[in-house]
Amino acid sequence: MKLSCWIHFAVLASISVEAFLPTSLRISHGVHTATTVSRHPNFLPQRDPVRALSMTGTSEQVVPIEQVSAELQQVKEEFDAKMDQVKTVADAEAIRREYLGKKGPINKAMGYMRLLSNEDKPKLGAVVNEIKEALETRVTESMKQLEIGMIEEKMKAEYIDVTMPGISRYPDIGRRHPLSMTMEKAIDIFTSLGYDTVTSVEDSPEIETDYNCFEALNCPKDHPARDMQDTFYLTEDMEYLLRTHTSSVQIRQLKKRKPPLRIVAPGRVYRKDDIDATHSLMFHQVEILALEKRGELNLGHLKGTVEHFLKEMLGPDIQVRFRGSYFPFTEPSMEVDVFFRGKWMEVLGCGMVDPNVLEMAGIDPNEYSGFAAGFGVERFCMVIHGVKDLREFTKNDKRFLEQFPHFYDDGLSNFLSGKPQPEPKPDPRGEKVPSRIVRSLAELEALNKQETEKLTTASEKQEQAPSAEIDVSKFDIRVGIITKAWEHEEAEKLFCEEIDIGEPEGPRKIASGLRAHYSVDDLVGQRVLVLSNLKERKLVGFPSHGMVLCASAGDQVKFVEPPEGAKIGERVMVEGFDGEPATENQIIKKKMLDVVFPDLKTDSSGVATYKGVPLSTSAGACKAPLPDADVA
């Protein structure tokens, strides 16, 4: 049985070996057949051996390594001849796969070495590697040159002499971006009033110093705008940053030029913000500054300039109103609204230059005075064209961008007068334009009505089912104790307090409007609840970092107190609302106070609750001696 198996295996092995041999190497009755060696692509079938054994295994015939080398050299010559004819990168890649791919002659030649003796393998290996390296080098260099040639041909075909007037030969190439058109229109309005445009890198750098961007503009070191979470600082010492407004150009010009002066400063600015339909990390601003001898410019000149600008931008029939506001670098300050296409909207801020800003620039405020104003370009562009999402401006979709009429064509005037705009050309690929601007005032009014109805419906739904995402768990309420208290020197309603809430940094400084309800002696030693994840902010110059929770009903205000035994620093929880607290920025940006406070109340027993569920510590519920009251 064993002998029969071995004979069967030997016959199969002999047949398998001979079946893989090329015709030139097959054995006929123990004699090597002297046929001509075939050329590629039939040369070297996979696993062909260069050593062949007779069926009896008693004799051996060997194909010389030189013969294999000669045929590999013929393969190289054939490869070179084909590479000399290639015209494109695709052709070169096809030849590379043909000769160097898995089924190519080089890979097949490697199969020979598996059946060679250890003495012969290095000889054939050296030949194969040399040929392979030569082929790879040739195809790599050829493909590189072909790619360079393709780029040069494309550049030659697309060449445009930008110094020549107009591009009428290329009607479908290039569009003025709507943001650029809006900015240019605004600049032209102010230059027609005698303002100088400041755009050079030297006078309007996007990388600014902390001094020019904040301190020289009356923003002290502890101003919220200088928070790391709002500004892109570039150095660890926070001395250099990406400018947050183009007002820094005003400081540079005040230092460089002597008044009187009038400048308009357009440019890109940067702020850390969540990207959405109305916010971006980078946007554009235009600011103006006018400075004259004291008494020559007043608030009336500022209002007249702003009204003229807005009517030039939005049309002569708009209504303009000014509201008192606050900006660190102007005093008095105003925000400006326009009644445009059926609704009021805020469009810019302005004010008289603060004397402190002039002093820090080395200008005597008793000798000179002036005004400043600034606005966002994206805001105006969205208002004018009815665009709802500013992200459309940065998608670089030609079909969207080519819809906008140029301010210097009849397109905008036709639009403002109520004439419909032409539809954009259809895309040859049949794709739909992703976002379309409105074509007429009637269409815009219908769109505004539709949006208003959506907002009303959404508001009603929100009242019926408040957002599940924002609840009391977003508040980080801690048990604290007032260790020190004193009356604010400049605010008659405020107490200044130091409250221990168990933080290693020590007590928090918090200002509370409680002087009408408590005395200083009442406060020291009082245990309280502190809403701790609020951003620090100045209250009449005092840095307040947190809020003391109180119950109020009518004229009465009382502390919400933790139970005896509650540990200082312990977080106050509400059963069923176990989420993680929000960040200080999220509390403000998402207006969480407005969402949560309406549901914070005391019950008939004075227990502080959220939606009827008690505010509790490990020692029990928190209470106030004021039932059925609001908590804030």
What is residue 529's DSSP assignment? E
Report domain extents, the chain.
Answer: 2-143, 178-391, 395-426+436-464, 472-631
8 A C-beta contact, residue 19 and residue 83: no
* Range name among 61-70, 286-295, 427-436, 552-561 with the lowest pLDDT average: 427-436
Strand partners, 509: 498
**Mean pLDDT over residues 441-457, rounded?**
63
The pLDDT-based confidence of 14 (bands split at 50, 70, 90) is very low
Q: How many CA atoms lie within 13 A of 561 on its CB side?
A: 15
Q: Both tokens of residue 616?
A: 């509790």
> What band does 562 get if pLDDT is binned at 50, 70 and 90?
very high
Superfamily in which the 472-631 domain is placed by CATH = Nucleic acid-binding proteins (2.40.50.140)
> pLDDT of 38-69, one tens digit each?
334 434 433 333 333 222 333 344 456 777 78
Which residues have a Cβ under 8 Å from the Cβ of 185 and sit 6 or more positions away?
313, 407
The burial class, CB within 10 Å (0-12 / 13-18 / 19+), for 25 is buried
**pLDDT higher than threshold 60 for residue 302:** yes
Give pLDDT, residue 468: 47
Q: Which residues pair with 552 in a beta bridge?
A: 557, 630
pLDDT for 579-609, tens place per residue?
Answer: 889 988 888 777 788 889 999 999 999 999 9
Q: Which residues, in sequence order, are CB contacts of 446 under 8 Å at separation 6+? A: none
Contacts with 266 (C-beta within 8 Å, 6 or more apart), sequence order = 183, 186, 187, 197, 199, 246, 284, 285, 286, 377
pLDDT at 430: 46
C-alpha to C-alpha distance for 109 and 483, rounded to whole angstroms: 89
Letter for the amino acid at 102?
K
> Tokens at residue 405, please?
């009429």
pLDDT digits (tens, 9 = 90+) for 102-131: 888 888 887 777 767 788 788 888 888 888
Is the pLDDT higher at 330 or at 29? Answer: 330
Question: 477-487 and 527-531: which strand pairing?
Answer: antiparallel
Nearest to 400 by CA among 623, 553, 203, 177: 177
Higher pLDDT, residue 631 or 113 = 631
* Region 239-253 average pLDDT: 90
Q: What is the distance of C-alpha 46 from the center of its chain?
A: 55
Question: Percentage of the chain surpassing pLDDT 90?
Answer: 33
Q: 178-391 with 472-631: one CATH topology?
A: no
* Torsions phi, psi for 4 (to 5 deg): -60, -40
User: For position 16, what pLDDT does the model report?
Assistant: 37
| Position 314 confidence tier, pLDDT thresholds 50, 70, 90 | confident
pLDDT for residue 125: 82
What is the rounded average pLDDT for all residues in the chain?
A: 79
CATH number of 178-391: 3.30.930.10
| pLDDT 10s digits, 359-386 | 888 899 999 999 999 999 998 888 888 8
Q: Is 200 helix (H, G, I), strand (E, B) or coil?
A: coil
Q: Say if strands 620-621 and 613-617 run parallel, antiparallel, or are unpaired.
A: antiparallel
Task: Return d(Cα 38, Cα 21) in angstroms, integer.
Answer: 12
